[in-house]
């Protein structure tokens, strides 16, 4: 609530400044005899200067999706998403320094059966930017991008993600702003960047009740089973997730450093980040002797529950520290761009077949190339390889080696009013993939209309196969003002 009132106050200041700029009759002007401008010209210049220092923009988005086919009675057949954002930027006169703030109204609904919805109205970003020739400082709530690759970026770990719809929204749209301070020093071809994040911000996920939730419709599936006792149904119905989050103290903050250097036509970077994992570590699960094969379908869950025992506890999750070392590069050769990243994680959490977590050392690298043609073709291809050291066969959805091919292919036509796009992700060592073809119409000024599909395919023990029943047809309207 305090952040909300600060945001409203900020925009009141902007609007007041803008109105003051328009009311030029109230401006007191001191005329210097040496000046050639008339009083009216000085008034107009002052008014123009004030208005030019303030910019306001935003967008309104509405997206509806429906399942391609109904797989179970507990499945959500429809999704509706609405987002409205207002952004204001106030640039200080005769400098590059500015204040930026945006407020966001967001609504996500799943239904019509077992309805779930979530609404947020909050400060999205709000920060102050100050710069000199060799230094700049940004303080406030913001999104900072590290790394060079798209869709999958092992180096980009400053901001957590909104995963309530898994990875269906675009990568940039999933980013969650966080309060932080960033200092950059520029010396010749070197850039040294330091960040400090005082407050913990986890990735946003649902545990129960949606098609994308960690346990999906476990509670509803148990209630609808004829093979389980009434006592067991009541026991499962009463379970909840107990989250233990880090205290917001100075010593609990995240911090990182990044060194960038340009050599010839190559942009190179090294980074180190000491942070809290933004995905939860599942410390305990109350149903004991449980062994899953990865599938969360109703039949598989009910079968796995046979022979289990119940403990008088809740699902307990916590967040743990990790060290991340990263390397990144980017260069261009004619119409081709080459980029890549590699990261070392001293620990990452993985869910196991008894629905608790284990932590393993991870190496992850991504190599990519993109091509932009003169006839409006764009092709992006990325090879990703995640390696889990000391792999444990109880880990769900991941193998010791996890290679994949992902990217984007798009083509503009009809003078740029339409664009055909295909986003893809193929797991190369298992039978699973994700495809998202779409058509984007920009014929109406400031309005983008997108019609598309989200297609998941794979075996039940794969990550894409976990969401095999969630294929969607969607339409998205986004108006910029």
Chain mean pLDDT for the chain: 88
Provide mean pLDDT across the span 400-423.
96
Using a 10 angstrom Cβ sphere, with 0-12 exposed, 13-18 middle and 19 or more buried, the burial of residue 110 is buried
Q: What count of other Cβ atoms lies within 10 Å of the Cβ of residue 477?
A: 15
* Dist CA 224 CA 288 (whole Å): 21
- Nearest CA-CA partner of 200 in 253, 236, 121, 161: 253
pLDDT band, residue 96 (cuts 50/70/90): confident
Provide mean pLDDT across the span 104-123.
94
Residue 143 has what pLDDT? Answer: 98
Provide mean pLDDT across the span 74-88.
96
Tokens of 290: 């449980």
pLDDT band, residue 296 (cuts 50/70/90): low
Contact 271, 256 (CB under 8 A): yes
* Dist CA 129 CA 280 (whole Å): 33
Q: Tell me, letter by letter, the H, E, C secondary structure of 21-80.
A: HHCHHHCCCCCCCCCCCCHHHHHHHHHHHHHHCEEEEEEEEEEEEEECCCCCCCCCCEEE
pLDDT band, residue 31 (cuts 50/70/90): very low
For residue range 336-361, what is the model confidence (pLDDT) as tens digits? 999 999 999 999 999 999 999 999 99
The SS3 of residue 337 is strand
Q: CA angle, corner 190, sides to 188 and 196, nearest 5?
A: 130
Residue 303 has what pLDDT? Answer: 77
For residue range 219-265, what is the model confidence (pLDDT) as tens digits? 888 888 888 889 988 999 999 999 999 999 989 999 999 999 999 99
DSSP string of 401-425, one letter each residue: EEEEEEEEEEEEETTTTEEEEEEEE
Between 114 and 378, the more confident residue is: 378
Residue 191 has what pLDDT? Answer: 97
Residue 297 has what pLDDT? Answer: 63
* Integer CA distances (angstroms), 177 to 202, 311, 356, 472, in order: 11, 38, 29, 28
Provide mean pLDDT across the span 381-397.
96
- Nearest CA-CA partner of 244 in 281, 198, 287, 285: 281
pLDDT band, residue 45 (cuts 50/70/90): low
Provide mean pLDDT across the span 158-183.
97
Is the pLDDT reported for residue 27 higher than 90? Answer: no
Provide mean pLDDT across the span 154-181.
97
pLDDT band, residue 41 (cuts 50/70/90): low
């Amino acid at each position: 609530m305090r952040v909300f009132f600060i945001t409203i106050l900020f925009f009141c200041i902007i609007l007041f400044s803008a109105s003051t700029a328009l009311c030029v009759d109230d401006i007191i002007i001191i005329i210097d005899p040496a000046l050639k401008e008339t009083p009216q010209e000085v008034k107009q210049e002052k008014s123009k200067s004030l208005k030019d220092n303030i910019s306001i923009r935003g967008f309104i988005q509405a997206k509806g999706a429906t399942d391609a086919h109904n797989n179970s009675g507990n499945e959500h057949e429809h999704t509706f998403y609405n987002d409205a954002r207002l952004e204001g930027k106030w640039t200080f006169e005769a400098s590059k320094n500015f204040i930026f703030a945006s407020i966001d109204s967001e609504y996500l609904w799943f239904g019509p059966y077992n309805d779930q919805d979530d609404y947020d109205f909050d400060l999205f970003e709000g920060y102050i930017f100050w710069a000199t020739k060799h230094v700049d400082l940004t303080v406030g709530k913001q999104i900072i991008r590290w790394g060079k690759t798209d869709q999958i970026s092992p180096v980009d770990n400053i901001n957590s993600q909104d995963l309530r719809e898994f990875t269906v929204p675009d990568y940039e749209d999933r980013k969650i702003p966080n309060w932080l301070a960033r200092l950059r020093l520029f010396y010749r071809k070197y850039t040294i960047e330091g960040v400090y994040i005082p407050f913990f911000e986890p990735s946003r996920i649902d545990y129960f009740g949606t098609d994308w939730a960690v346990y999906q419709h476990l509670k509803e599936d148990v209630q609808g089973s004829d093979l389980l006792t009434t006592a067991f149904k009541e026991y499962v119905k009463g379970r909840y997730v107990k989250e233990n989050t880090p205290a917001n103290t100075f010593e609990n903050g995240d911090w990182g450093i990044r060194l960038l250097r340009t050599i010839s036509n190559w942009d190179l970077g090294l980074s180190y980040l000491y942070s809290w994992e933004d995905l939860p570590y599942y410390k305990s699960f109350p149903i004991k002797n449980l062994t899953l094969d990865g599938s969360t379908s109703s039949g598989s869950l009910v079968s796995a529950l046979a022979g289990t025992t119940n403990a008088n506890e809740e699902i307990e999750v916590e967040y743990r520290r990790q060290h991340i070392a990263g390397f990144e590069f980017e260069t261009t050769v004619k119409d081709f761009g080459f980029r890549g990243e590699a990261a070392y994680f001293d620990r990452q959490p993985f869910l196991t077949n008894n629905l608790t977590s284990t932590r393993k050392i991870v190496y992850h690298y991504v190599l990519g190339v993109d091509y932009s043609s003169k006839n409006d073709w764009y092709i992006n291809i990325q090879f990703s390889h995640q390696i889990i050291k000391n792999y444990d066969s109880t880990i769900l959805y991941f193998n010791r080696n996890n290679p994949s091919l992902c990217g984007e292919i798009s083509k503009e036509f009809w003078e740029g009013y339409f664009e055909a796009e295909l986003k893809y992700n193929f797991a190369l060592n298992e039978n699973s993939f994700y495809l998202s073809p779409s058509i984007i119409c920009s014929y109406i000024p400031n309005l983008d209309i997108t019609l598309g599909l989200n297609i998941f395919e794979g075996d039940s023990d794969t990550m894409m196969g976990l969401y095999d029943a969630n294929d969607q047809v969607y339409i998205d309207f986004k108006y910029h003002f």
